């Protein structure tokens, strides 16, 4: 597997992967995290233009897509709990794998950690697949954060620093 920045030529495939991810979440008991049409195409276009959207290729085909950037995420400023540290961190959002992407999400997360060994991510409490992946990859549950729309998310962090 390899990772590269998403291009506008990838957009149709990326949006199809998000469609597959929404269907998977509904099927596995998580119908509320990504409602219909989330993430919206305009947001993914914005990510592509900002060079913060990446695709994971497997056998030359797009297997997964995700947002990654080293930044201070405003939704992470207030947490019911505590982060492992206050050092600069990378953020992963909107990670989804397609039907041909077995193992791709873990590969993407490990790639991000190799780029910046202090990563924060959040997910819906009903996203059992992502919760299991984060546990398997050594992420620590840090508490609850709230999105701009008021929805809660469980917050996780992995760092190579000691807590």
Domain chopping of the chain, boundaries: 2-159
How far is 153 from 104, CA to CA, in rounded Å? 23
Tell me the pLDDT band of 163, cut-offs 50, 70 and 90: very low
Backbone angles phi, psi at 133, to 5 degrees: -65, -45
3-state secondary structure of 45: helix
Tens of pLDDT, residue by residue over 118-138, are 999 999 999 999 999 999 999
3-state secondary structure of 100: coil
pLDDT cut 70: percent of the chain above it: 98
CATH no. of 2-159: 3.40.630.30
Tens of pLDDT, residue by residue over 17-47, are 999 999 888 888 877 788 778 899 999 999 9
**Average pLDDT of the residues in 73-78:** 95
Residue 55 pLDDT exceeds 90: yes
Residue 161 pLDDT exceeds 90: no
More confident: 141 or 36: 141
**Average pLDDT of the residues in 144-153:** 93
**Average pLDDT of the residues in 129-148:** 96
Place of tokens 């840090």: 142
């Amino acid at each position: 597997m390899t990772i590269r920045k998403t291009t506008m030529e990838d957009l149709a495939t990326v949006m199809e992967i998000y469609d597959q991810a929404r269907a998977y979440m509904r099927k596995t008991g998580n119908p509320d995290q990504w409602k219909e049409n989330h993430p919206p195409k305009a947001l993914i276009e914005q990510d592509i233009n900002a060079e913060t959207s990446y695709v994971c290729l497997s056998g030359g085909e797009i297997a997964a897509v995700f947002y990654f950037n080293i930044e201070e995420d405003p939704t992470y400023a207030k947490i019911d709990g505590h982060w492992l540290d206050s050092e600069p961190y990378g953020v992963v959002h909107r990670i989804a794998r397609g039907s041909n992407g077995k193992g791709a999400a873990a590969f993407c997360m490990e790639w991000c950690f190799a780029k910046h060994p202090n990563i924060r991510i959040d997910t819906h409490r009903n996203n059992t697949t992502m919760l299991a992946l984060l546990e398997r990859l050594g992420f620590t549950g840090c508490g609850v954060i709230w999105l701009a729309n008021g929805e809660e998310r469980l917050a996780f962090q992995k760092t190579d620093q000691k807590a």
